[in-house]
Structure 1
């Protein structure tokens, strides 16, 4: 039967009820205005008719796909922003009303230029292309869109286009000896986080939300269900991290926690959860006359990527370890088995200084200690 407007007992709002080509509908219009409700009824009926004839793929908008992606656990960052005044902006707002089937590479490139007019190629890639593609891939999983290879912006080549500017910490790799020197000056809880990052290449947000159930020590494998690209992936476990994970999974739940035993709030602000710890480590080193200001949580990811290249690891293996989005068809259809990935991650070097950090004795116990307390207790144990 065609859709009709009804009012439920005890409610002033109008509801749409009926069946369109075998699909039953009963939903609120969200309004008590009969005229407005009837306009909504007509739109719902028209949409359902079109969907029954052409299929869902012909009708899903980017906004709907973005909402579904966020509802499935994806990040809303860069997709939807609401100002204190209530103004909505972001990628989803830019594509408001646009159907997925009508979007092209030119539309995506234009969105990046409009939303980030002064940004570098790397920033546009991170803040526009990556979230857009994540939404698209989730829509593909929902069978709302076709699989498509989106072209990402490339950094200009050649010294004549280099722009000299102050570099942000975390944008370049460091040596593992230098990383060990920095991590050894951190509190045990944050040192454990940085250690896991430097020997996995995981994104900070992935590590902060990692749970004991995601770890398979026997298989040397981590399973991440929700990632930045919108697709689940696996991460090989470096042999160096086995004792750390063995200890942390005994308490269950979220693996990496603060010295108070509390999980870090999930955010993608480039490891901002331990920003104070990073600053503290820099200051402690500075007092010793050592300046290390270029290391942050994201430094680990750049370091792992660079070191794997130096070690001669195949680009396809490196990209799967890091969870990079596929940029070409050969990568898209290449899935490397687990064992080669495990062998590759184990090529990352482990300086002696990293193995000598005191918290390795009992990671769970030492993670609850601040640096001053940890140092004092370590001295007391040595004297005993």
Structure 2
């Protein structure tokens, strides 16, 4: 049955209806001009014929892949600019030099890290989604790298860009109010990004299987995170919380932590308070922030001899080696790995462990302990 043009009472446009070698079509031409509509019908018929012979890969466009990616829960961050560039281009015709050229045009003065985050990472997330739909072939895309020998202006390092010993982290967290202390505890024993933790809901947590499902991540690809045994009592309590908000972690006022474009959330006041209390006590610890936890988990897993494949799976690192990117590590090794993270006695003995929900409304003001 060939395609033909039909009219619909509820639409001013002409529609295409029919099938080509078993592939059905019923879609608007988006025009009421018969000549133009007939041209669209002929082209669409040719597309379906090619698709019936060569598969969906022959006609899949970046726009289609991006739309499907968003429908599956993918992140919209940085994607609009990519769709402007690649739009209706066929996926099979997009090559490495096209991606690199798009990156240079969009971010001519940006550093390699910025280009990777804002161009290559979202593009690869869409591409990998297309691969899962069998719309594109698996491809190893090269990410931008900082040129060797580049002279880089030294800047003052920001707090949290280095790992710390777990004993030191325990001392810092023990000087925080319970609600933010619970956030930091979860970060130090999961390796999640702060923004990932702040968007967690009860339905994302499986206590029995010791598993956390992250559906919205920086790379755009969903992943699972193993739950350290130390966190089980905390998550078991939080999923029972009765609240009008869906977010699992909330501040002492019972509200979700605010999210920002380039930051994890509203913890700066809590961090400053802990630093001030420690400084007054004569034991200053200035260099801990929410992102310290992620660096610490990564470093500690390496020290503990955890295989790089498993470490990357836990942290959700974007990797260039496609064999690693598509390795589906079983949950058992991930759980074993995360449980190698040490738990100092100071952390285990915090008062709020006996009743996490009851302690969340307790707030310690700056300078007090």
Query: How does the TM-score come out when normalised to structure 2?
Result: 0.83
Q: Distance in 2 between matches of 1:174 and 1:302?
A: 8
Q: Distance in 2 between matches of 1:189 and 1:324?
A: 28
**Matched ranges for 1:56-67 at <5 A:** 56-67=56-67
Q: Is the 8 A contact 1:171 1:298 kept in 2?
A: yes
2:347 to 341, 350, 354: 354
**Matched ranges for 1:135-150 at <5 A:** 135-150=126-141
**Matched ranges for 1:77-116 at <5 A:** 77-80=77-80, 90-116=81-107
Q: Distance in 1 between matches of 2:303 and 2:148?
A: 21
Deviation of the 1:263 alpha carbon: 4.5
- C-alpha deviations, 1:61-116, integer Å up to 9, x for none? 12221111111101010111xxxxxxxxx122222332211222222233333322
With over 3 angstroms needed to count, the CA separation of the structure-2 counterparts of 1:13 and 1:98, relative to structure 1, is: closer
The match for 1:26 is: 26
Q: Distance in 2 between matches of 1:183 and 1:39?
A: 67
Residues 190-199 or 346-355, more deviating: 346-355
**Aligned length in residues:** 362
Task: Say yes or no: does 1:223 pair with 2:216.
Answer: no
Q: Is the 8 A contact 2:116 2:144 kept in 1?
A: yes
Residues 15-24 or 100-109, more deviating: 15-24
**Secondary structure, aligned partner of 1:251:** coil
The runs of 5 or more residues in structure 1 that have no matched partner are 81-89, 380-384
**Secondary structure, aligned partner of 2:213:** strand
The match for 2:190 is: 200
Q: Is the 8 A contact 1:63 1:93 kept in 2?
A: no
- C-alpha deviations, 1:194-216, integer Å up to 9, x for none? 22111111123432333334333
Query: How does the TM-score come out when normalised to structure 1?
Result: 0.80
Q: Distance in 1 between matches of 2:2 and 2:157?
A: 62
Residues 328-337 or 244-253, more deviating: 328-337
RMSD value, Cα: 3.3
Q: Is the 8 A contact 1:185 1:281 kept in 2?
A: no
Q: Distance in 1 between matches of 2:241 and 2:225?
A: 21
**Secondary structure, aligned partner of 2:5:** strand
The match for 1:247 is: 237
With over 3 angstroms needed to count, the CA separation of the structure-2 counterparts of 1:121 and 1:183, relative to structure 1, is: farther
With over 3 angstroms needed to count, the CA separation of the structure-2 counterparts of 1:41 and 1:295, relative to structure 1, is: farther
Q: Distance in 2 between matches of 1:330 and 1:52?
A: 30
The match for 1:190 is: 180
Q: Is the 8 A contact 1:188 1:369 kept in 2?
A: yes
With over 3 angstroms needed to count, the CA separation of the structure-2 counterparts of 1:197 and 1:226, relative to structure 1, is: same
With over 3 angstroms needed to count, the CA separation of the structure-2 counterparts of 1:312 and 1:233, relative to structure 1, is: same
The match for 1:382 is: none
With over 3 angstroms needed to count, the CA separation of the structure-2 counterparts of 1:192 and 1:52, relative to structure 1, is: same
Q: Distance in 1 between matches of 2:172 and 2:84?
A: 42
The match for 2:51 is: 51
Q: Distance in 1 between matches of 2:29 and 2:258?
A: 36
Q: Is the 8 A contact 1:186 1:278 kept in 2?
A: no
Task: Say yes or no: does 1:131 pair with 2:128.
Answer: no
